[in-house]
Amino acid sequence: MANSSRCLALPAAVKTTVLRLIAGLETVDAGHIMLDNQDITHVPAENRYVNTVFQSYALFPHMTVFENVAFGLRMQKTPAAEIAPRVTDALRMVQLEEFAQRKPHQLSGGQQQRVAIARAVVNKPRLLLLDESLSALDYKLRKQMQNELKALQRKLGITFVFVTHDQEEALTMSDRIVVMRNGVIEQDGTPREIYEEPKNLFVAGFYRRN
């Protein structure tokens, strides 16, 4: 899975369960969760090195941008001398270094989303889950953030699991797409394969909605 952006096109209830299973927040009834050829099915959530960027950003309103990004490092008891440079690097990566001392309410929606992304990558996860994280943005900003996320993924070299209901977003954001229905994988392939060679009517219909 390394160096690829993985996109899951799922119904809301299913995708929530899938993300929670990957993150270690739900218990698996059957099967295995593999990451880099390692079985992490029973690895505690805090030891999986999997982070999530939520649609709601989930920033602490009373904290500055710097403090929000540093929060996870402090919870992990990262040495104090390492925190500032790592947070600064993460903010530089999302082009928010100059906003470090602002509060979330002083930022635009796109800037808040970048803070959430910086917070998610600052502790160098092996996998980043993006839970419809662009759906609340307007069209122009969403397109801008799509380009920024793709560039960031290439720079970090880690897998992004990008969950979206937006057909265009699914096709343009990912190297591979997984389409699911009722917990069953209907098709797993490249965007071109999914679009040009759908395996069944459900997959074909997914890209003809709206």
What is the tens place of the pLDDT at every residue in 106-141? Answer: 999 889 988 999 999 998 898 999 888 887 778 887
Q: Does domain 1-49+126-209 have CATH number 1.10.760.10?
A: no
What is the tens place of the pLDDT at every residue in 183-208? Answer: 788 999 998 898 899 999 998 887 66
pLDDT band for position 4 (cuts 50, 70, 90): low
d(CA 32, CA 157): 24
What is the tens place of the pLDDT at every residue in 5-21? Answer: 565 655 556 677 888 89
d(CA 28, CA 42): 8
d(CA 144, CA 56): 18
Q: In the structure encoding, which two tokens stand for residue 155, read together?
A: 């720079």
d(CA 68, CA 85): 14
Positive/negative CA dihedral, 203, 21, 174, 170:
positive
**Is the per-residue pLDDT at 62 higher than 50?**
yes
Q: What pTM was computed for the model?
A: 0.81
181 three-class SS:
strand
Comma-separated ranges of CATH 3.40.50.300 domains in the chain: 1-49+126-209
**Is the per-residue pLDDT at 51 higher than 50?**
yes
d(CA 200, CA 7): 19
pLDDT band for position 102 (cuts 50, 70, 90): very high
Contact 95, 149 (CB under 8 A): no
- Tell me the residue ranges of DSSP E strands in 90-144: 127-131
pLDDT at 2: 44
Contact 138, 63 (CB under 8 A): no
Q: 52 forms bridges with which residues in the sheet?
A: 129
Give the length of the chain: 210
Q: 184 forms bridges with which residues in the sheet?
A: 181
